[in-house]
């Protein structure tokens, strides 16, 4: 894997965690060059002091990438680009980088959502895009500082359905070498939907009640609402022909129990810190849209969507 150039766009919870691991692994190895793309205060802080990851996995918490840029217009030539921005910034990022994507540029979106690949492909028609999902509990503590708790971060990626001959072998190698739990599958669609079952249901309910995953899992009312939302997603997935285990709901509750009790979801944090944008549309909006397209009632999701919107009014 000599002579690879890897760029990470977005130094938040996800990009910060995985970007740190890559930059740390290759900090004294000029054959793999890591570039961070950050903006505003994050850029200024990381440029001046380096990027900090507070995690039980790292004793030495600060890393300096080989390069940091604050403008996508300065995106360097890259063999691999990790995109870890929130859903509402994805389109703009894709529009800004699309001219720089060559036939052999690899793109790995590290985001939640079941239609990220399709959204990227509407804008970026060249290169190779690996559909993926990600598990990690990490959030911005302050600009340039990310805090990670709980299990080691994990990435599951699959082949680009349009470029099936392109194997992500070296990408898997660099991630594993950097200490990332990485799983490669021919087709990652089942895993992406499996993650969506978990994050859409627990994300919406945790945001509605401002309660962490453990409490939502334990208390009867939030738990029942999680179950109802998952039932709606299950109807949609089955109808779309997505292969998912029959006991997906029980499996998802089991998965949730592996997170530390107090882990918040990113939607909960964004809603309750009054962020101007949230990923409510990525979770509730997608379920409601799919329900409409397929003619399935998704009343529980519609109800919680309205309740979360109401939190902004109050
Ligand atoms: N946090 C988590 O634990 C997990 C999150 N996810 C998913 O991963 C995705 C990313 O989430 P997360 O990392 O938490 O989000 P964050 O909001 O923590 O981080 C996103 C970062 O992207 C930056 N960004 C956006 N646009 C640009 C741009 N044009 N140039 C440079 N930087 C940019 C933002 O900058 P700025 O700060 O200036 O706005 C921010 O720092 C989401 O889809 C989320 O649902 C998945 C698993 C776990
Ligand atoms: C719940 C968690 C942290 C798990 O990866 C997540 O995906 C999110 O908050 O978006």
What rounded mean pLDDT belongs to the chain?
A: 96
Task: Report pLDDT digits (tens) over 126-161.
Answer: 999 999 999 999 999 999 999 999 899 999 999 999
- Lowest mean pLDDT segment, chosen from 77-81, 193-197, 274-278, 290-294: 274-278
Nearest to 302 by CA among 170, 217, 196, 204: 204
Whether the pLDDT of residue 314 is over 90: the answer is no
Upper half-sphere CA count for residue 127 (Cβ side, 13 Å): 27
Among protein residues, the one with the nearest Cα to ligand 1's atom 36 is: 39
What distances in angstroms separate CA 96 from CA 43, 44, 71, one per listed residue? Answer: 18, 21, 10
Looking at residue 285, the DSSP 8-state letter turns out to be I
- Write the DSSP symbol of residue 100: G
- Indicate which ligand has the atom closest to the C-alpha of 14: 1
Under CATH, which number does the domain 191-313 receive?
1.10.1040.10
Q: In this predicted model, what pLDDT tens digit does every residue of 72-87 receive, in sequence order?
A: 999 999 999 999 999 9
Q: pLDDT of 203-227, one tens digit each? A: 999 999 999 999 999 999 999 999 9
Burial of 173-209, coded b for 16+ CB within 10 Å and e otherwise, reads: ebbebbbbebbbeeebbbbbbbbbbbbbbbbbbbbbb
Yes or no: is domain 4-187 CATH 3.30.930.10? no
Q: Which residues of 35-66 are buried (b: 16+ CB within 10 A; e: fewer)?
A: bbbbbeebbebbbeebbbbebeebeebebbbb
Q: Is 155 in the pocket of ligand 2 (CB under 6 A)?
A: no
**What ipTM score was computed for the predicted complex, to two decimals?**
0.98
Tell me which DSSP letter residue 102 carries.
-
Task: Please report, for the chain, the start and end positions of each structural domain, with discontinuous segments joined by +.
Answer: 4-187, 191-313
In the predicted model, is pLDDT for residue 1 greater than 80?
Answer: no
pLDDT in tens, 237-248: 999 999 999 999
Give the β-pairing of 80-83 and 4-9: parallel
User: What pLDDT score was predicted for residue 312?
Assistant: 80
Residue 266 in contact with ligand 2 by CB distance below 6 A: yes
* Dist. CA 239 → ligand 1 center (Å): 31
Is 313's pLDDT higher than 90?
no
Rounded-to-10 torsion of CA 130, 95, 79, 111:
-40
Residue with the larger pLDDT of the pair 276 and 109: 109
Residue 284 to residues 47, 141, 227, 298, Cα–Cα distance (Å): 37, 26, 14, 10
- Using CB distances shorter than 6 Å, the residues near ligand 1 are 9-15, 37-40, 42, 72, 84-87, 89, 93, 110-112, 134, 136-140, 266, 279
């Amino acid at each position: 894997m000599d002579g690879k150039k890897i760029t990470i766009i977005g130094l938040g919870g996800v990009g910060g965690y995985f970007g740190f691991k890559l930059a740390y692994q290759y900090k004294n190895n000029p054959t793999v060059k890591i570039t961070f793309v950050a903006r505003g205060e994050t850029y200024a802080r990381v440029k001046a002091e380096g990027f900090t990851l507070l995690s039980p996995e790292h004793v030495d918490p600060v890393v300096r990438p080989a390069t940091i840029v604050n403008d996508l217009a300065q995106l360097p030539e890259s063999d691999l680009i990790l995109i870890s921005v929130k859903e509402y910034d994805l389109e703009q990022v894709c529009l800004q980088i699309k001219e720089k994507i060559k036939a052999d540029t690899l793109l790995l979106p590290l985001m939640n959502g079941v239609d990220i690949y399709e959204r990227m492909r509407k804008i970026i028609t060249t290169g190779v895009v690996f559909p993926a999902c990600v598990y990690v509990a990490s959030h911005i503590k302050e600009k340039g500082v990310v805090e990670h708790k709980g299990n080691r971060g994990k990435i599951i990626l699959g082949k680009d359905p349009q470029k099936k001959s392109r194997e992500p072998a070296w990408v898997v190698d660099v991630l594993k070498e950097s200490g990332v739990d990485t799983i490669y599958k021919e087709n990652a669609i089942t895993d992406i939907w499996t993650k969506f079952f978990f994050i859409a249901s627990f994300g919406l309910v945790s945001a509605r009640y401002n309660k962490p995953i453990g409490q939502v899992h334990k208390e009867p009312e939030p738990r029942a609402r999680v179950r109802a939302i998952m039932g709606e997603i299950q109807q949609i997935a089955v109808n779309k022909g997505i292969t998912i285990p029959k006991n997906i709901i029980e499996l998802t509750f089991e998965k949730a129990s592996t997170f530390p009790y107090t882990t918040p979801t990113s939607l909960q944090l964004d809603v309750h810190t009054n962020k101007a944008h949230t990923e409510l549309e990525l979770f509730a909006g997608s379920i409601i849209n799919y329900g409409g397209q397929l003619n399935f009632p998704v009343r529980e999701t519609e109800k919680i969507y309205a309740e979360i919107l109401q939190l902004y009014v109050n």
